Structure 1
Amino acid sequence: MTDFKVDLSNCASEPIHIPGQIQSHGFLIALDRQYKVSHCSDNIYELLRETYAKLIGSQLRYIEQLIRGDDQPGFIRDLLNIGKINKSFEQINPFKLAINGETYYLIISASADQYLLEFESSTSDALPDVQKMMGHSISKMLADKNLQSLLENTVLQVKKTILYDRVMIYRFAEDGHGEVVAEAKNEELSPWLGLHYPASDIPQQARDLYKLNLTRIIADVQTTPIKISAAADQDQPLELTYSQLRAVSPVHIQYLKNMGVASSFSISLLCKGELWGLIACHNYTPKFIDFLSRELSKLLGQILSSALEFRQEEIHQQTLEVFSGTLDKLTKQLQETASIEEALTKGPVTVLDIVHASGAVLVYEKNITKIGITPDDGQLTELISWLNQNNNQPLYHLTKLAAHYPAADNYRTVASGIMVVVISKELEEYVIYFKPEQPQFITWAGNPEKQAVMGGNGLMHISPRNSFQQWSQTILSTSLAWSPEEINSALRLQEEITYAINQKAGAIRLLNEQLQRAYDELDTFSYTVSHDLKNPIAAIKAYAQLVARSQGFTDRDRMLLGRINQRADQMHLMIVSILDYSRIGRSAFKYHNIDARALIEDIVRDQSLIYESQNVKITLGSMPELKGDPMMMLQIFSNLISNAVKYSKHGHAPHVHIEGTVNDADICYAIKDNGLGIAPHNLKNVFGLFSRMDNVKDIEGSGVGLAIVKRVVEKHNGRIWVESELNKGSVFFVSFNK
């Protein structure tokens, strides 16, 4: 097998599960599926008085005969068959047997398409009655429900049971680095409690193996590992993932030597299937504990793992219940409040109450609503712009925002952590949560950055730290982590907001349909009534005129008949206006390019003829071209210009000015007069149907003209508005998209 070079380029992929060697305190034989020896450790002669060269290729019955002669033929085959039936060898391990006057444990495990037979001494450096000690240890461990007390009791009981010099619980953080969170040690040793170790000390592939093989012993770091020899037809390295004797990475061996540790033993702690941490045991002289003692220690680890999972689940459920209750109240507010923004930010419960954040903003319908402690408006605008460009996830959370968005370092005390709940990516609508910077003061067991040195061969070699002197570091621009409970709560909020928006959108759509039907019915009704009233009004006017021609009427009678005639004309004008207003809703517009100057000059000529004696001055400025329905455009400008002339003609030096300007997005015309003007309290009603101002009661008009203009302008997707001051005049603005 090719020697494995340990350098910076291949450390991360070091094949620690196929080292081709075992530790020196045991022996290994591998069998293929036909129970023929495929591999053998080179030290096998010490166990069976037979060389590995002769054993490789032999049948299992030969191994059985070397161990027990003819006393119990097939005993290992029987054990293998039991394990195959049970699909596990846990129930038969370890199998105690005597070989050449010494007692050993036989441990069987499956390895890919082979079986491993491992032989270890049954004698141990642990207490003689570990099993009895275990029951006492378990009761002591679980005596306290407090998590820290549980961890402290565990290390104390493990130390009493297996007698290592130092026993620690080492907990992994999210980024892979670890911290010593509990410790029991000999008095003469320096404490390591609270020290942190970088993730590179236990690389990912090692952590993966700790999840599969829950205990790991290194009996003596000074011994030389034993090579595994293979049959000629075996072209793949022997898989040793589940091996008890698997040799140790030379990097890890050197690491332990640098720490002064002669022997180590670890027990994996799992929580919900993931590696939570390790019970790490160190001894400063070589130490071996037998397989049975290790299995009983593993039981302690499994009990602690269950307790950890139970404690975490208990905390998880308590937090979920609080968040869930708050979310229920928020959901009710969403259902009962017409405004999404008001429901989420103004009620007794807000979006800030469903997570442990210091501030939140709701970005909805182009508005930004802040709650709690948040960045300022300018910072939020830039942050939202960055999110629009860089986030494609429905839920996005960070604890180091400045590492991804450097501008956030300016407000890290407010928003080092961020969680973004996307309401609508297309509409750029979000709920954004903030957590402040949480400075961390970490004490490392040595500088975690110093890992490589130049070797004599010119290669950069991994150099496990020679110094474990405490090295302090302050970590800034980092918030507390977003917990699974907070993330789940935010996901449910996202669902509730989406549901509420869809519900409200459905209700609005239904209301719009009802309004449209009512509008169509009213439009039809007004058109029909107006059309049908024209004939009776014409008849009244005709009869009044006929009666006026008769003899015998006094002057007063003729005056009354004249008033009847005038009112009939006025009613006829109103009916025609209503018909025009109704007709706009029915008309299909035909858009053309319009020469605005020609159109407006023609209207001005008409006005000059109508009001010839009033001497109204009308001036024109720039007249940019328009696009729209020619007849409707004529109606817009005819109404606006005639109103300007009509309401300014009685003033001193009446003047009307008309001018158009071209802007980035639209073309805007202004019709300005110096006439009567409009009182402030009347401005809001200017464009209403049949709305007439207080100061124009004596001037002829129907009160429909400006309502018609507004409707026509809106049909062109334009806008109309007015600025006016009483007795000083008015300016009507009308704008159209380019």
Structure 2
Amino acid sequence: MNKFSVDLTNCDKEPIHIPGKIQSHGFLIAINKIDFTITYISENTSDYVSTPAKNLLNQPISVLSNHFSHEPDFNIENLLKLGVIRKSFDAISPYPIAINEKPFYLIINTSVNDWLLEFEPVSLQYDIQSLVGRSASAMLQGKSVSALLKGAATEVKKLIGYDRIMIYKFLDDGHGEVVAEEREDHLEPFFGLHYPATDIPKQARELYKLSLTRLIADVNTDDSPIITFNETTALDLTNGSLRAVSPIHIQYLKNMGVYSSFSISLIANGELWGLIACHNYSSKFIDYKAREGAKLIGEILSSALEYRQEEENSETVELFNNTANVLSEHLNRDKYLIEALTNYDKTLLNVTHGTGVAIVFENELKTIGEVPDDESIWDLVAWLKDNSDESIYYTHRLSEIFHPAKKYKDIASGILACSLSKDPVEIMIWFKPEQISTVNWAGNPDKPVTAFVDGLASLSPRKSFETWSEVVNNTSEKWMPEEITSVLRIREIIVAHINKKANEIRLLNEKLQSAYEELDTFSYTISHDLRTPLTSIKTYAELMLKNKTLDDKGKNMLDRIINSANKMNFLIKEILNLARVGRSEIVFETVNMQSLLAEVSAEVWSAFKADNAELILGQLVDLKGDKTMIAQVFTNLISNAVKYSSMVKSPKIEVSAVIDGGETIYAIKDNGMGIDNRYYDRVFELFKRMENVKDIEGTGVGLAIVKRIVERHNGRVWFESKLHVGSTFYVAFKNK
């Protein structure tokens, strides 16, 4: 690495838990946990005892008693053993002792291999419990989070008397914002200012979680070094109150004009939420009990923060839950999903605090509120399909990730997308607009690198704290956890509804299939059984017709019986054909359409005696399917073309095929009488015949047979027609 390559991560690497020094307003002695000997001692201990500090190293703990108290029952070793038995020194610290006839507190904490004995002067004498109780009661009067924070700043200022008290909240990226403040009138306000994450580096934030208070009594006093006979191992002061402060931080405070600082950690849900940061513009020492009282205020505030925040969040959650319940009712009541979610007072839009929502379902796009245009939404859907494998995706800076979104950032700088199905793509997307904001920093957040004369580079803390404004754009308000939870819940409801409907359709299809099979069997049985008595009727009528004694009237009646029997026989034959289509197995093969159509057309021309009709065969493409069934399709369609064009002077029937994508589409076109558009929806129904063809013989079964055969081949059938001009019927078969 280049020797000038110094960046802000250097702050994060500073070993602030083992500074090798303590603040000089107190002194420190470390006792080995095993043999109770003095292993570390601060140099300034000599100021309080009658012997040089280094002479106490490696001495037994008992030597301390003579130096610190004239009380015969004072025994530090017994205090340590009592703490070990209780597994805590909380009930012992602070232990009052006298040093040179002045009151001191002994505070005991643990280190890795040692006990830390820290000695601090007693500076305040008041009823701390009573004061903390009143302060906590006053602070908790705030019903909202903001009011609670303001009250906390006020009460802490009353308790410790610092010039400025700030509530400092850590944001997602580690930088902080002053969200409440109480100060002396002559001081400029810091409320609303932002401080970069590097002002309180990562390892400092970790220590704030372990040690809930931190005092710097005077930035202008020299720290006292810790001496030891064990030079290879530094003393871990993580739990110590007197731990010296990073020189960078001391210079930072000096640059701000601060002489003394005190901080109280705010922990919410196990994480460092923020700090109560206290500044004084002259040196100020507050003793252990005052700090503990302030810490108690911080702990009460931390609990209240969790409660108040959960209370505010629960109102949002309840609102979203009510929306989900209403939409669930709409889904249970309505026939169509999109209408259920979008056509009422409560809609998908109310599932989040977004200002617009789009839903893509069954290849249909529906939007509510402020959303991008349809083309942009479809592009966004395609991008989400390719770039997100999760069921939910959200961002508050879409245009920085998906660049085409820049053109509609004012509507959709933030999106929350929830997938219902990957293939086909079915998705819901909520939108939030761009929220242009100005962030006021306490000085330029970029720390400068200072190069020294020897060519080395080092970090220097910021010197300017004049307000430095930064305009933030291309971002929306962030998506709340409650919004994401709400979207996941509505997804569950919708997916459950889709699965329920799919199951209902499956059961209905099974019932329809069963009824269809029963009807087929019934039709086949009845039609087959009717043919025997019908044949008898026709035979006896023909025999009677041969009786020479019959007059013309009798012969006419018998002719009518025979004609009716023939018509009925033809109808039964058609019904049998229809039933057979449903019962027969399809045998797929390649059908030579050139040959098949030659046979079909010859048969039709012979049956209808259509010598004057012209047949034009265009391109003929072979089909994949059941040869017998396909022959029946073209027989019925060509027969209809011949039959319904027989009234025109020059009947013309054209048959041709085209390949379109994965289908082969045949067209059978005639120039006959055409179909009235009033009857378009009845063309393929069983036994339905048009008013204008009543004089032409037919049963109304042929086209129903065509439709069933084509659908059994997974194909399609449709038509185009114009009255007195002609009709074109299309059948499409899949190529594979």
TM-score range, shorter chain: over 0.9
Match of 1:118, SS state, is strand
In structure 1, give the amino acid aligned to 2:174: G
Alpha-carbon shift at residue 629 of structure 1 (Å): 1.7
* Unpaired runs of at least 5, structure 2: none
Between the aligned partners of 1:153 and 1:691, the Cα distance in structure 2 is 83
Alignment of 1:480-629 (within 5 A): 480-629=477-626
Alpha-carbon shift at residue 56 of structure 1 (Å): 4.3
Bigger mean CA offset, 664-673 vs 31-40: 31-40
Between the aligned partners of 1:37 and 1:506, the Cα distance in structure 2 is 78
Alpha-carbon shift at residue 548 of structure 1 (Å): 0.9
Q: Does the C-alpha gap of structure 1 residues 59 and 549 become closer, same or farther in structure 2, counting only changes over 3 Å?
A: farther
Alpha-carbon shift at residue 147 of structure 1 (Å): 4.2
Q: Does the C-alpha gap of structure 1 residues 142 and 382 become closer, same or farther in structure 2, counting only changes over 3 Å?
A: same
Alpha-carbon shift at residue 128 of structure 1 (Å): 5.8
Q: How many residues align?
A: 730
Contact 2:263–2:277 (Cα < 8 Å) also in 1: yes
Q: Deviations over 1:387-438 (max 9, x none)?
A: 1122223333222222222222211221122222332334422222112222
Q: Deviations over 1:461-497 (max 9, x none)?
A: 3332111111112212222222233233222222222
Bigger mean CA offset, 604-613 vs 297-306: 604-613
Q: Does the C-alpha gap of structure 1 residues 323 and 9 become closer, same or farther in structure 2, counting only changes over 3 Å?
A: closer
Alignment of 1:399-418 (within 5 A): 399-418=396-415
Between the aligned partners of 2:603 and 2:699, the Cα distance in structure 1 is 20
Q: Does the C-alpha gap of structure 1 residues 557 and 14 become closer, same or farther in structure 2, counting only changes over 3 Å?
A: farther
Q: For residue 210 of structure 1, what is the aligned residue in structure 2?
A: 208
Q: For residue 46 of structure 1, what is the aligned residue in structure 2?
A: 47
Q: Deviations over 1:677-733 (max 9, x none)?
A: 111011111111122222222222221111111111111111110000011001111
Between the aligned partners of 1:70 and 1:158, the Cα distance in structure 2 is 36
Q: Does the C-alpha gap of structure 1 residues 33 and 510 become closer, same or farther in structure 2, counting only changes over 3 Å?
A: farther
Alpha-carbon shift at residue 596 of structure 1 (Å): 2.2
Q: Deviations over 1:514-569 (max 9, x none)?
A: 22221121111111111111111111111111111112111222122122112111
In structure 2, give the amino acid aligned to 1:665: G
- Aligned-residue RMSD, C-alpha: 2.5
Alpha-carbon shift at residue 612 of structure 1 (Å): 4.9
Alignment of 1:67-466 (within 5 A): 67-68=68-69, 71-72=72-73, 75-123=75-123, 133-230=131-228, 232=230, 237-458=234-455, 460-466=457-463
Bigger mean CA offset, 507-516 vs 369-378: 507-516
Bigger mean CA offset, 44-53 vs 183-192: 44-53
In structure 1, give the amino acid aligned to 2:41: C
Q: For residue 30 of structure 1, what is the aligned residue in structure 2?
A: 30
Match of 1:415, SS state, is coil
Between the aligned partners of 1:473 and 1:238, the Cα distance in structure 2 is 43
Q: Deviations over 1:265-292 (max 9, x none)?
A: 1112233333232111112222221111
Bigger mean CA offset, 723-732 vs 87-96: 87-96
Alpha-carbon shift at residue 65 of structure 1 (Å): 5.4
Between the aligned partners of 1:222 and 1:273, the Cα distance in structure 2 is 35
In structure 2, give the amino acid aligned to 1:616: A
Between the aligned partners of 2:521 and 2:226, the Cα distance in structure 1 is 98
Between the aligned partners of 2:65 and 2:427, the Cα distance in structure 1 is 71
Alpha-carbon shift at residue 63 of structure 1 (Å): 4.2
Match of 2:105, SS state, is strand
Contact 1:7–1:459 (Cα < 8 Å) also in 2: no
Q: For residue 724 of structure 2, what is the aligned residue in structure 1?
A: 727
Match of 2:108, SS state, is strand
Match of 2:499, SS state, is helix
Q: For residue 638 of structure 1, what is the aligned residue in structure 2?
A: 635
Match of 1:520, SS state, is helix
In structure 2, give the amino acid aligned to 1:26: G
In structure 2, give the amino acid aligned to 1:191: P
In structure 2, give the amino acid aligned to 1:218: I
Between the aligned partners of 1:385 and 1:64, the Cα distance in structure 2 is 78
In structure 2, give the amino acid aligned to 1:79: L
Q: Taking structure 1 as the reference length, what is the TM-score of the superposition?
A: 0.93
Q: Does the C-alpha gap of structure 1 residues 14 and 717 become closer, same or farther in structure 2, counting only changes over 3 Å?
A: farther
Between the aligned partners of 1:558 and 1:31, the Cα distance in structure 2 is 136
Contact 1:636–1:709 (Cα < 8 Å) also in 2: yes
Alpha-carbon shift at residue 244 of structure 1 (Å): 1.1
Alpha-carbon shift at residue 450 of structure 1 (Å): 4.5
Between the aligned partners of 1:45 and 1:256, the Cα distance in structure 2 is 29
Match of 1:413, SS state, is coil
Between the aligned partners of 2:734 and 2:223, the Cα distance in structure 1 is 84
Between the aligned partners of 1:238 and 1:553, the Cα distance in structure 2 is 135
In structure 2, give the amino acid aligned to 1:109: N
Bigger mean CA offset, 727-736 vs 217-226: 217-226
Match of 1:92, SS state, is coil
**Corresponding position: 1:21 with 2:26:** no
Q: For residue 61 of structure 2, what is the aligned residue in structure 1?
A: 60
Q: Does the C-alpha gap of structure 1 residues 405 and 55 become closer, same or farther in structure 2, counting only changes over 3 Å?
A: farther
Q: Deviations over 1:51-82 (max 9, x none)?
A: 56554444434444554589336x33333333
Bigger mean CA offset, 281-290 vs 57-66: 57-66
* Unpaired runs of at least 5, structure 1: none
In structure 2, give the amino acid aligned to 1:168: M
Match of 1:414, SS state, is coil
Q: Does the C-alpha gap of structure 1 residues 631 and 111 become closer, same or farther in structure 2, counting only changes over 3 Å?
A: farther
Bigger mean CA offset, 384-393 vs 60-69: 60-69
Contact 2:414–2:476 (Cα < 8 Å) also in 1: yes
Contact 1:23–1:246 (Cα < 8 Å) also in 2: yes
Between the aligned partners of 1:51 and 1:619, the Cα distance in structure 2 is 123
Contact 2:26–2:120 (Cα < 8 Å) also in 1: yes
Identity value in percent: 47
Alpha-carbon shift at residue 370 of structure 1 (Å): 0.9
Between the aligned partners of 2:512 and 2:83, the Cα distance in structure 1 is 77
Alpha-carbon shift at residue 50 of structure 1 (Å): 5.0
Bigger mean CA offset, 155-164 vs 526-535: 155-164
Q: Taking structure 2 as the reference length, what is the TM-score of the superposition?
A: 0.93
Between the aligned partners of 1:666 and 1:448, the Cα distance in structure 2 is 65
Alignment of 1:676-691 (within 5 A): 676-691=673-688
Contact 2:6–2:457 (Cα < 8 Å) also in 1: no
Between the aligned partners of 2:57 and 2:7, the Cα distance in structure 1 is 34
Alpha-carbon shift at residue 184 of structure 1 (Å): 2.5
Match of 1:88, SS state, is coil
1:712 paired residue among 688, 695, 709: 709
